[in-house]
């Protein structure tokens, strides 16, 4: 409407009148000047989309910036946002995190090359936007199949959390009913790992969608070929998923239909080669089975994406561990005191609970379950970064309590006696006498814990934290340079770990008072 008003170039004082006139016209003549009605999942002028950017050409990271996925899905999402006069915000995460995030209202819709299935429609509304077909793919030279039954007893790889898993289950049930051995289904968290299993010959075939395959074929040249395209009517459409809401569904359906009829979708299809174009010529990228590509390795090593990922890994680990230590010292002191108390029982429960629960579960719980009870945790400020720090601080504090307890009880009780006989305050007894000695004892296991934590941060890719390993996987999905990118990631982890081991040595050298030989040799 502002554009209409500025077009009219009316004197400023007349504008309110004009605005009223336009509004009236809009009300009287629906569809003429009225803006399209916006679905309720567009909030605060923002359309938030959850995606797992490891499925080219639908959604993947083409460049180095892992926070900016591209692809057919992203273009469609952008077109929708534009239609609804909204800003597009894309959240990237593991495939398995997509639907929980949608439930937790972290995003308005999920677009990630996901098949429309009746099972998913029980919990979510779906709108189809692209035809597709399921394909079973094997290595070049593998004879084609005439029916799915021929997969009996064979290893088949699929991406975990996808509908293929269910679909293959149906095939397996039929095989078992017919007295034949079922397929052995291997699930991998990302699409490129699925493909890699076939390339390295670990599995017989993988299951995917044709559109993805067209893209892979261009990357990998003639290393793959379609074994069979089974006719499964259920598995024919990619869909956009939203939380159930009939009105929103209709609005989304209308928007997609409009994009289809005005040729927008077709433009995108051509742009991303979503249909088969069999351009075998440009299989220029590093494929599996080749030599180690030093160029790819060094460009990964020096890329901003890896550096950024490593910084996230490092800062998450440092901040979490700092908080964990801060919490754990008072807890350890309380738990070490001889008196029984309710507080002590509660703290013991805390420590056991968080030592027992798997870290991955805690991360998923905080990210996906907690927001269902406390809406404040689905707001924008609660980023994956904060969620990871929250989960890891709590988790790590439970381990750190045990280290601190051991260290504090290893300090000779005579130290406290001696210090209090001198009249030192409780505070000074702890800070000047007990902590420095306990610190010396706790340092090596604490550094060990930290190194562990540094590596455990990689779990946070499931809640879409763009740490080092998540970055690596996204980059691998783009280039298929497994070895080179894994090697680059390894270098980053090694450098970080060795730095902290070095730091430990340096700090330990300052504790020469604990070792008679060292003091003597230092003095000499």
Partner 1 sequence: MQHETTTNPMISVRGMSKLFGKFVALDRVDFDISRGEKIVVLGPSGSGKSTLIRTLNQIEPHDSGMLTIDGKLINEKTDPIQLRCMVGMVFQNYNLFPHLSVLENCILAPMRVRRMTRMEATALARRYLEQVGIPDQADKYPIQLSGGQQQRVAIARALCMQPEVMLFDEPTAALDPEAIVGVVGIMDELAEQGITTVCVTHEMAFSRRIADRIIFMDQGKIVEITPPETFFTSPKSERAQNFLNQMLRY
- Which residues in this chain contact partner 1 in the complex, by CB under 8 A? 412, 414-415, 417-425, 428, 432-433, 436-437, 440, 511-516, 519-520, 523
CB of 436 to partner 1, least distance (A): 5
**Which helix (DSSP H) or strand (DSSP E) does residue 47 occupy?**
strand 46-51
What contacts 24+ positions apart, CB below 8 Å, involve 497-505? 497/451, 497/454, 500/447, 500/450, 500/451, 500/454, 501/447, 501/451, 503/447, 504/443, 504/444, 504/447
CB of 511 to partner 1, least distance (A): 8
**Which residue reads 């807890």 in tokens?**
331
By beta-carbon proximity to partner 1, the closer residue of 82 and 415 is 415
The CA-atom distances, in angstroms, between 453 and each of 25, 318, 328, 359, 523 are 62, 9, 15, 10, 37
By beta-carbon proximity to partner 1, the closer residue of 176 and 519 is 519
CB of 294 to partner 1, least distance (A): 50
Distance CA 471, CA 462 (A): 12
CB of 289 to partner 1, least distance (A): 58
By beta-carbon proximity to partner 1, the closer residue of 9 and 517 is 517
CB of 446 to partner 1, least distance (A): 17
By beta-carbon proximity to partner 1, the closer residue of 233 and 414 is 414
CB of 421 to partner 1, least distance (A): 4
Strands 54-55 and 124-131: unpaired
By beta-carbon proximity to partner 1, the closer residue of 281 and 423 is 423
By beta-carbon proximity to partner 1, the closer residue of 345 and 520 is 520
**Which residue reads 């550096």 in tokens?**
307
CB of 406 to partner 1, least distance (A): 18
By beta-carbon proximity to partner 1, the closer residue of 275 and 409 is 409
Q: What are phi and psi of 100, to 5 degrees?
A: -55, -40
By beta-carbon proximity to partner 1, the closer residue of 183 and 441 is 441
Distance CA 410, CA 399 (A): 17
CB of 334 to partner 1, least distance (A): 21
The CA-atom distances, in angstroms, between 472 and each of 41, 402, 463, 499 are 32, 34, 16, 21
Distance CA 333, CA 57 (A): 56
Q: Which residues pair with 205 in a beta bridge?
A: 138, 156
227: which 2 tokens? 């074994």
110: which 2 tokens? 């999920």
């Amino acid at each position: 409407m502002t554009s209409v008003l500025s077009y009219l170039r009316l004197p400023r004082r007349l504008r309110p009148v004009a605005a009223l006139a336009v509004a009236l016209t809009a009300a009287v003549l629906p569809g003429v000047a009225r803006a399209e009605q916006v679905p309720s999942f567009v909030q605060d002028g923002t359309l938030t989309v959850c995606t797992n950017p490891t499925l080219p050409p639908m959604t993947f990271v083409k460049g180095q910036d892992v926070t900016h996925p591209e692809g057919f899905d992203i273009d469609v999402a952008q077109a929708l946002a534009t239609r609804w006069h909204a800003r597009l915000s894309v959240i990237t995460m593991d495939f398995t995190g997509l639907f929980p995030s949608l439930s937790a209202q972290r995003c308005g819709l999920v677009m990630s090359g996901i098949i429309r299935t009746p099972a998913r429609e029980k919990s979510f509304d779906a709108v189809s936007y692209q035809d597709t077909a399921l394909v079973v793919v094997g290595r070049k030279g593998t004879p084609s199949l005439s029916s799915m039954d021929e997969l009996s007893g064979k290893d088949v790889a699929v991406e975990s959390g996808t509908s293929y898993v269910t679909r293959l289950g149906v095939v397996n049930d039929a095989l078992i009913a017919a007295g034949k051995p079922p397929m052995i289904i291997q699930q991998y968290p990302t699409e490129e790992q699925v493909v890699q299993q076939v390339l390295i010959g670990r599995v017989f075939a993988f299951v995917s969608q044709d559109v993805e395959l067209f893209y892979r074929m261009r990357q990998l040249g003639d290393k793959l070929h379609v074994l069979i395209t089974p006719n499964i009517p259920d598995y024919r459409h990619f869909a956009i998923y939203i939380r159930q809401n009939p009105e929103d569904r209709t609005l989304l359906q209308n928007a997609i239909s409009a994009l289809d009829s005005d040729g927008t979708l077709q433009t995108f299809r051509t742009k991303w080669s979503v249909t088969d174009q069999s351009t075998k010529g440009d299989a220029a990228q590093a494929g599996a089975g080749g030599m180690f590509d030093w160029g790819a390795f060094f460009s990964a090593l020096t890329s901003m994406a890896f550096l950024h990922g490593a910084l996230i890994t490092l800062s998450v680990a440092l901040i979490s561990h700092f908080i964990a230590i801060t919490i754990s010292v008072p807890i350890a002191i309380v738990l070490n005191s001889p008196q029984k108390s309710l507080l002590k029982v509660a703290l013991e429960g805390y420590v056991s609970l968080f030592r027992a629960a798997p870290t991955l579960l805690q991360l998923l719980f905080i990210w996906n379950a907690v927001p269902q009870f406390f809406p404040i945790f689905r707001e924008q400020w609660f980023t994956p970064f904060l969620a990871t720090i929250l989960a890891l601080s709590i988790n790590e504090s439970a381990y750190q309590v045990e280290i601190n307890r051991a260290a504090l009880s290893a300090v000779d009780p005579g130290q406290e006696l001696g210090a209090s006989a001198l009249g030192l305050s409780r505070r000074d007894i702890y800070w000047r006498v007990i902590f420095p000695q306990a610190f010396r004892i706790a340092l090596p296991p604490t550094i060990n814990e930290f190194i562990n934590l540094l590596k455990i941060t990689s779990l946070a890719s499931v809640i879409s934290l763009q740490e080092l390993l998540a970055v690596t996987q996204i980059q691998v999905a783009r280039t298929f340079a497994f070895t080179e990118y894994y090697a680059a990631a390894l270098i980053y982890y090694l450098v970080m770990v060795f730095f902290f081991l070095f730091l430990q040595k340096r700090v330990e050298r300052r504790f020469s008072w604990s070792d008679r030989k060292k003091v003597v040799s230092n003095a000499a």
